[in-house]
Structure 1
Amino acid sequence: MQIRDLPHADPGEPDVRSGFRFLVWLFRRQLGGQLRAVLYGALHMTGVALLPVAAGAAVQAVIDESGRDLALVGAALLAVALLIAGADGALHRAAVTNWITAAARVQQLLARRTAELGGMLTRRVAAGEVVKVSTGDVEKIGWFVESFSRFAGAVLVVVGVCTGLLVYQPELGVVVLLGILAVVLPMLPLLPAATRRADAERAKSGRATELASDTVAGLRVLRGIGGEELFLSRYRRASQEVRGASVHSARMWALIDAVQVVMRGLLLIAVTWQGARLALAGDITPGQLVTVYGAAMFLLFPLRIFQEAAMAFVFSRPSARRAVRVLSLRREDGDAVPAPRQGDGPPALHDPATGLRADGGALTAVVCGDPVTAERLATRLGGHAPPDEGADPVPSAELDGRPLDDMPLRAARTAVLVQDKDPVLLSGTLRELLDVPSSGRVTVDRALEAAQCADVLAAVARSAPEGGDVLDARVTERGRSLSGGQRQRLALARSLVTDPEVLVLDEPTSAVDSHTEARIARGVRELRAGRTTVVMTSSPLLLDLADAVVFVHDGAARPAGSHRSLVATDPEYRAVVTREPDVPAASPPAAGTTTTRGTDPAPSPAEESV
């Protein structure tokens, strides 16, 4: 796998039973790249290990006054230098490729899971944690994948050098081998404590990221109510907790470093003392002493790689666990594939939990006294909402009698589109924003006109290229440069362009004025003629234009009727729509009666045409 081949055609199905198993799965998915990196690492380490041998041979050649041996050593050093340079470059390339390809694989898996879960993701995992996993945690996982290949190559060479020393100079070889064990073993009891501290740091860091994300998302609201200092103080406390956890973790690694420095120094002292004693006794030549001492010095280099690999493993484990927590989320979708829908007419939508039924091809308005109930109902109608935890499973909404949970995910998403109460606008141009999968029946211009987006186009036209199309104007992240009503109408236009068989709108006009709302209501009705449309609303302007109005009270849908008839006959419905709980029953308003949004029934058709 090369970097130019990214993204992966298929990132695979990860093993999400644990963070460690996920790391093992990543290695198996790019085994070829890992083996290449191990080979290059072993060649590089072998070249470095040969330098002490060459140095010892050079010293001995000078002592023996042999110019021929010295020339041979020089040629050998040149070959070793070329080997080190070539292997080091190849190792770096292979290791970085492994790092990037592993990180890209994890990011693709996260993107795929996010797309599958949709709005359900942030109901199960905090948004800050998702951000942390897709940024810092991906880097930590890639770091461990990259360091492991260098670690494996170093292990092979260290075993080879220690074996060679035992054969070359048994006494010094034993000293070096015992010294290596003395350097490595004291680090092992400290690693669990370092892991726990790294876990605590990751948890606090994720919390701080979540707070920062929430603060940025609600900055406009915070400024409106004067709550900036409250959230800033919370973030300061979270930031200080992260700093404290980082210092606590760093102290453990400082202790590990100190132990390593001390043990390495003791190893060099032991080798030097033993080697000098043997040289003075005439048991070894000066060249052999230089070789052994150089080999001991060399072994300190792979030992630092061992420590780096241990650090990468400690930091990658909590990152892998966080990634697994997101990747293990699943929708409760059945495997059954439904039969093709019978008939060519628009489908009807039915919610068994409440008894709500939206007839095919009709504009059905749904009124709920509780906004939370309305939001849950809207998401359930699109097949998005999971069963409530701790409660009995809620039956799936049905499309022409077929449960949405039993339909293939792609088919369900194509048939039913739900626009949330707070739709998200991604950054990019207007053209990119409105370039969504669609039937082709509704053009962008018609959708923008029906959603009353003329002022939205004027607002974003300032960022369009000079003399260019307004659709090439850019929309900032989440549409923050637009007002709430403008974002709402732009999202509505996007939904209308899609033109699904069933469109569910949750309070699509809650942020616009009455005059604009009346025009939007007429535009949506005309554009969605012959399509099944469900609108969750309590606005009389929308309710008066609906083909049927359903009132959901205490979790049950009452028989459908017209807005005017329900106002006259159902006091609880009238209380929700008019916001006047004690208003007495009254006959339908006469034509020409003046009304206001949210206080009286909708104006008559004669007034709406004025």
Structure 2
Amino acid sequence: MQIRDLPYSDPGDPDVRSGPRFLYWLGRNQLTGQLKSLSWGLMHQCAIAGLPLVVGLAVQAVIDGSRRGLAQAGALILVLGILIAVGDTMLHRTAVTNWITAAARVQQLLARKTAELGSALTRRVAAGEVVAVSTGDVEKIGWFVEALSRFAAAATALVLICVGLVLYLPSLGVLVAIAMPVLALTVLPLLPRATRRADIQREKAGKATELASDTVAGLRVLRGIGGEELFLGRYRRASQEVREAAVGSARMWALISAIQVFLPGVLLISLVWYGAALARDGRIDVGQLVTVYSAATLMLFPLRHFEEIAMAYSFSRPSAQRAVRVLSLERSTRPSTIDAMVPEGDLYDPVTGLFAARGQFTAVVCGDPDEAGRLAERLGGHAEAETGAETAPGTGPDVGKDPAAGAGTTTDDGKRTAPAPLPSVLLGGVPLDELPLDSARTAVLVQDKDPVLLSGTLRELLDVPSSGAVSPGDALDAAQCGDVLDALAQASLDTGGDPMRTRITERGRSLSGGQRQRLALARSLVTDPEALVLDEPTSAVDSHTEARVAAGIRRLRRGRTTVAFASSPLLLDLADRVVLVHGGTVVAAGAHRDLLRDEPLYRAVVTRETDDDIAASAAQDELVGADASPSAEAIEEFEERA
């Protein structure tokens, strides 16, 4: 795989059982690149290892006065120099290619998982952790993959050099061969502690990143309540904890580096002292001493790759573990068993009993906004998957969820298992969870209450996969975006006043909340899905605009299934059918005005009545009878309740 061939047509199916298994899977998929890097690394290391022998021959030729031997040694040094240059260049090229392609593979896997889970991702994994995985962690993982082949080449070169020295000069070669494994393995007892400190540093850095991300996202709210200093103090403390953890980790690596400098120095001193004694006694030649000493000196360079691979692994392992936590999330426990198709028909949720007839505009009223959001996600086939894996007590996917999701079971050893998966939402009798992801997304589109606008021009924003039946102009008109178009035209500097060519800033920050909401609604209307689910589509606009937007949705979606979660009487009055959901179950359904008259709970949600208002209304209904006048006791009781 070359950089020019990126992105991958298919990044593969990763092994997400653990961080080390994921690293192994990643390295195995980079096998061709690893072998190339290993080959060039061996050429580079072996060429370097050949220099001491040639230098020794040159020294001996000078001592013997052999011009021919000196010339041959010079020619060999030239050849080795060329091999070293070519090998080092190609090793760097292939190693960096391995780094970039491995990082790109991980990024594609993360992007694919993000697209698969949608908005459910940030409810199951903190947004800061996702940011940390897709930025810094990807680089750490790529570093380990890149360093692996260079370490393998260095280790192979060390073995070859030790064997060669033993065969060349056993009296000194044995000393070097015994010392090298000791030098390479001396720091092993320190690696677990260094790894733990690196893990702590990465964990604290991830929490600090998450805190910074949350603070930036809520900066406007923090300024409104005067909480900037509070959160700034929290981030300062978090950053100091990261600094202290980084210093502790750096101390361990400094100790490891010091050991790997001190012990080779002791080896070289011992080698020179013992070799000089042998040369003085005439048991070895001066050239042989120079050869062995030069070889031992150059062996310190590949030894440093042992430190690098240990450091790369200690940093990449927690990064890989975080990547695994994201990549192991599943959209559903039920695999796709139905061929790609876009079903048509009624939308039905067997869990709550919510029924939205095909071609009708159905409004859903929930007293709990969180319950409305969860139900909207379920209608889109985005319900969170339950894995059924054993978890520690008090943790796991079933903790903190809606009681309707199931309570799970407890095993004899105190561990909890996730509850059975909930029944899937049906569209035309077809379970959405069993459809391929693309088909499910095409059939049902869910717009969150806080939709995100990507940066780009307005034309690019509305250039989304669609049926083609709804034009961008019709969608903008239905969403009442006339004032938004005027604002974009005035903000346009180099597009000739064309709002469709005006760039929208990141997340639409240059627009008001109502403008962003209406542009997002227009984008959803352009797609023209079989079923459209809108969560509070008019919560950020005034009442006059809200009435026109509701009428535009009804007009443009005529003949298509539309479900809107709302509590505004203006929108509810235009719906073909209104459904009241309470406690995770449909408790009433009908026309808005009928429910407003006959259902106290519905009236309380829509009119924002308090408990005191409900009690007073009930008392008044009790007082005013059809055939009798209220008694004095009834009037007194009503006054007390009121």
**CA distance, structure 1, for counterparts of residue 104 and residue 157 of structure 2:** 31
Matches within 5 A, 1:62-211: 62-211=62-211
**CA distance, structure 1, for counterparts of residue 454 and residue 244 of structure 2:** 36
Provide closer, same or farther for how the CA distance between residues 525 and 464 of structure 1 changes in structure 2, counting only shifts above 3 A: farther
Partner of 1:507 in structure 2? 536
**CA distance, structure 2, for counterparts of residue 474 and residue 202 of structure 1:** 37
Tell me, yes or no, if the aligned pair for 1:427 and 1:478 is still in contact at 8 Å.
yes
Of 576, 583, 594, the residue aligned with 1:565 is 594
Which deviates more, 127-136 or 549-558? Answer: 549-558
Tell me, yes or no, if the aligned pair for 1:341 and 1:400 is still in contact at 8 Å.
no
**CA distance, structure 1, for counterparts of residue 493 and residue 307 of structure 2:** 53
Tell me, yes or no, if the aligned pair for 2:495 and 2:501 is still in contact at 8 Å.
no
Partner of 1:355 in structure 2? 353
Of 378, 395, 398, the residue aligned with 1:389 is 398
Q: Deviations over 1:152-207 (max 9, x none)?
A: 11111111111111111112112212221231222111111111111111111111
TM-superposed CA distance for 1:573, in Å, is: 0.9
Provide closer, same or farther for how the CA distance between residues 420 and 91 of structure 1 changes in structure 2, counting only shifts above 3 A: same
Does 2:423 correspond to 1:414? Answer: no
Partner of 1:276 in structure 2? 276
Q: Deviations over 1:477-527 (max 9, x none)?
A: 211222111111111011000110101101011111111111101111111
TM-superposed CA distance for 1:272, in Å, is: 0.7
Alignment partner of 1:512: what SS?
A: coil
Partner of 2:418 in structure 1? none
Mind listing any 5+ residue stretches in structure 1 that lack a counterpart?
Answer: 588-610
**CA distance, structure 1, for counterparts of residue 422 and residue 10 of structure 2:** 34
Does 2:41 correspond to 1:4? Answer: no
Q: Deviations over 1:435-475 (max 9, x none)?
A: 11101011111111111112222333314533163222212
Mind listing any 5+ residue stretches in structure 2 that lack a counterpart?
Answer: 387-396, 400-404, 407-420, 622-642
TM-superposed CA distance for 1:342, in Å, is: 11
User: Would you identify which runs of 4 or more consecutive aligned residues in structure 1 move more than 6 Å?
Assistant: 339-343
Partner of 1:580 in structure 2? 609
**CA distance, structure 2, for counterparts of residue 459 and residue 468 of structure 1:** 10
**CA distance, structure 2, for counterparts of residue 241 and residue 221 of structure 1:** 26
Tell me, yes or no, if the aligned pair for 1:34 and 1:98 is still in contact at 8 Å.
yes
Provide closer, same or farther for how the CA distance between residues 78 and 341 of structure 1 changes in structure 2, counting only shifts above 3 A: closer
Q: Deviations over 1:230-273 (max 9, x none)?
A: 11111111111111111111111011011111101101111111
TM-superposed CA distance for 1:408, in Å, is: 2.2
**Aligned-CA RMSD value:** 1.8
Partner of 1:602 in structure 2? none
Tell me, yes or no, if the aligned pair for 1:464 and 1:474 is still in contact at 8 Å.
no
Q: Deviations over 1:33-52 (max 9, x none)?
A: 11111010000011111111
| AA at the equivalent of 1:575 | A
TM superposition score normalised by structure 2: 0.88
| AA at the equivalent of 2:368 | D
**CA distance, structure 1, for counterparts of residue 546 and residue 507 of structure 2:** 22
Partner of 2:377 in structure 1? 379
Partner of 1:39 in structure 2? 39
Q: Deviations over 1:116-175 (max 9, x none)?
A: 111111111111111111111111111111111111111111111111111111121122
Partner of 2:466 in structure 1? 438
Tell me, yes or no, if the aligned pair for 1:183 and 1:263 is still in contact at 8 Å.
yes
Alignment partner of 2:188: what SS?
A: helix
Which deviates more, 283-292 or 401-410? Answer: 401-410
Provide closer, same or farther for how the CA distance between residues 476 and 342 of structure 1 changes in structure 2, counting only shifts above 3 A: closer
Does 2:500 correspond to 1:471? Answer: yes
Give aligned-pair identity as a percent: 67
Tell me, yes or no, if the aligned pair for 2:340 and 2:435 is still in contact at 8 Å.
no
TM superposition score normalised by structure 1: 0.93
| AA at the equivalent of 2:100 | I
Tell me, yes or no, if the aligned pair for 1:464 and 1:470 is still in contact at 8 Å.
no
Which deviates more, 475-484 or 33-42? Answer: 475-484
TM-superposed CA distance for 1:78, in Å, is: 0.8
Tell me, yes or no, if the aligned pair for 1:18 and 1:324 is still in contact at 8 Å.
yes
Alignment partner of 1:560: what SS?
A: strand
**CA distance, structure 2, for counterparts of residue 430 and residue 560 of structure 1:** 39
**CA distance, structure 1, for counterparts of residue 537 and residue 190 of structure 2:** 57
| AA at the equivalent of 1:563 | H
| AA at the equivalent of 1:27 | G
Provide closer, same or farther for how the CA distance between residues 285 and 338 of structure 1 changes in structure 2, counting only shifts above 3 A: closer
**CA distance, structure 2, for counterparts of residue 323 and residue 290 of structure 1:** 50
Q: Deviations over 1:384-429 (max 9, x none)?
A: 1226715424322211222222222222111111111111112222
Partner of 2:229 in structure 1? 229
Provide closer, same or farther for how the CA distance between residues 336 and 311 of structure 1 changes in structure 2, counting only shifts above 3 A: closer
Partner of 1:370 in structure 2? 368
Tell me, yes or no, if the aligned pair for 2:332 and 2:383 is still in contact at 8 Å.
no
